[in-house]
């Protein structure tokens, strides 16, 4: 194809021993603020620099009264009213006069947050075998912004934009799959044939759709890329470097040793399925933990240099045991995402929606504020929109999610069938986006 590929050894660290990462170092990389993430990107543009949200033109005024507002971007956790005018946050105060508002929503102490940002979902409905309806499974359940991760590639992206992105009420942005086909079928992995990993076509497609394509996605795993995983990652990095955007790497039973792949990730890049099963002799070398349950040096180094570790729960990519072992070593996810797709939303789950995934982290010991941070402020900063979404600051997009906190015994299942019983479950009640109110759909 007339292009060269980077030498992976040029990025590799010289040591390969394992250790745990101090919590203070992790928090610098994982919790993140806009300033920290911008610095971590080393001058590269953080996704789209000037997003446009035209749905605001149809907005009307909404007042949300009497809620417990949890907005980590402003350190808010208490009783506030929130006013939205012309599709933007107009006022946040302990009491706002209800006179003159077109719609007043009395929330009676329910939890009010910025609209969630699901940094990993698959919403190419009707074309990709993974595709789900974003408005039903995301927007109606609190996720006003969704990042589709690689459902479409250079050959299929125009259709994705026309038939999904520009049609759904959910704000949808995407990472372009390095494979030209994207994730169309489960009959064969999209990178089993390296001819599909076309650098030039990926660059051309991103340049044509820079307003909605925010980076590059590559799936490294035996089913997705087989023995081609290292070359596929190198080509995805070549595209990311050429267009000045981040790359997200999926890991699942990679053929190339995981240490070698982790060392390729740059500051501002993302690792998804970070907490898939690892840390036991049975899991071998599949994830961020060694078979003895110790954080790999390559993973610790990645966190220290500003790589973001995303959950990406999915049907086969989140383990309670692995997460608990990682947390004992001071490692928490940078971002909490669902990896919602057609195979994990049904009666058996195990994902269902992003609020259910967040509820699992409440069971694991995260405070509500820290869990919400990882689905609002941190992913907003990761995509370079921290002053526009993921916040209830005055002037930001009027994206608001309202939840009930149901207490009692709630059964949660991870991707491997492990069961935990938690005492709290976050349940969608209303979502407001573009001045419109959406009820949850089930």
Q: E strands along 7-142, which residues?
A: 62-71, 76-85, 88-93, 103-106, 111-114, 116-121
Mean pLDDT computed over 348-356: 97
Q: Is the pLDDT of residue 25 over 70?
A: no
Q: Which domains are assigned to the chain?
A: 8-45+116-389 (3.20.20.140), 54-113+405-411+418-438 (2.30.40.10)
Q: Which residues in 313-344 are b (16+ Cβ under 10 Å) and which e?
A: bbbbbbbbbbbebbbebbbbbbbbbbbbbbbb
Mean pLDDT computed over 125-133: 97
Closest to 394 measured CA to CA, from 35, 153, 83: 83
Please enumerate in sequence order all residues whose Cβ is within 8 A of that of 101, keeping only pairs 6 or more positions apart, or say none. 61, 62, 63, 83
Closest to 358 measured CA to CA, from 368, 350, 348: 368
pLDDT score, position 40: 39
Mean pLDDT computed over 245-271: 96
Q: Is the pLDDT of residue 39 over 60?
A: no
* 214 vs 44: CA distance, rounded Å: 12
pLDDT score, position 282: 85
């Amino acid at each position: 194809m007339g292009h060269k590929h980077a030498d992976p050894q040029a990025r590799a660290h010289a040591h390969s021993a394992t250790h745990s990462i101090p919590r203070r170092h992790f928090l610098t990389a994982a919790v993140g603020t806009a300033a920290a993430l911008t610095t971590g990107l080393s001058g590269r543009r953080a996704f789209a620099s000037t997003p446009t949200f035209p749905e605001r033109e149809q907005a009307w005024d909404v007042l949300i009264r009497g809620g417990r507002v949890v907005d980590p971007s402003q350190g808010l956790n208490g009783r506030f009213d929130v006013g939205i005018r012309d599709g933007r946050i107009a006022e946040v105060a302990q009491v706002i006069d209800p006179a003159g508002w077109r719609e007043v929503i009395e929330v009676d102490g329910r939890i009010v947050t910025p609209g969630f940002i699901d940094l990993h979902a698959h919403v190419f409905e009707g074309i990709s075998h993974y595709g789900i309806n974003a408005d039903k499974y995301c927007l109606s359940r609190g996720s006003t912004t969704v990042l589709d991760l690689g459902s479409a590639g250079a050959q299929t992206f125009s259709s994705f934009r026309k038939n999904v992105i520009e049609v759904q009420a959910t704000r949808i942005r995407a990472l372009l799959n390095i494979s030209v086909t994207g994730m169309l079928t489960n009959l064969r992995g999209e990178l089993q044939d390296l001819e599909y990993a076309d650098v030039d076509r990926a660059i051309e497609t991103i340049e044509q759709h820079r307003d909605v394509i925010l980076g590059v996605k590559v799936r490294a795993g035996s089913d997705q890329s087989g023995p081609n995983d290292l070359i596929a990652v190198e080509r995805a990095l070549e595209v990311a470097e050429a267009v000045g955007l981040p790359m997200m790497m999926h890991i699942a039973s990679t053929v190339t040793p995981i240490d070698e792949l982790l060392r390729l990730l740059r500051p501002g890049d993302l690792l998804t399925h970070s907490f898939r099963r690892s840390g036991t002799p049975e899991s071998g070398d599949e994830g961020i933990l060694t078979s003895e349950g110790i954080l790999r040096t390559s993973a610790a180094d990645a966190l220290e240099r500003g790589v973001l570790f995303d959950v990406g729960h999915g049907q086969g990519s989140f383990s309670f045991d692995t997460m608990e072992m990682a947390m004992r070593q001071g490692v928490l996810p940078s971002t909490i995402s669902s990896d919602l797709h057609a195979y994990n939303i049904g009666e058996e789950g195990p994902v269902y929606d992003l609020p259910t995934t967040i509820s699992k982290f409440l069971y694991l010991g995260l405070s509500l504020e820290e869990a919400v941070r990882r689905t609002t402020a941190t992913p907003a900063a990761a995509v370079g929109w921290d002053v526009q979404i993921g916040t209830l600051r005055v002037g930001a997009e009027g994206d608001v999610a309202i939840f009930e906190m149901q207490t009692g015994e709630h059964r949660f299942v991870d991707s491997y069938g492990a069961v935990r019983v938690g005492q709290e479950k976050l349940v969608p009640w209303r979502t407001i986006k573009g001045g419109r109110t959406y009820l949850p759909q089930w």
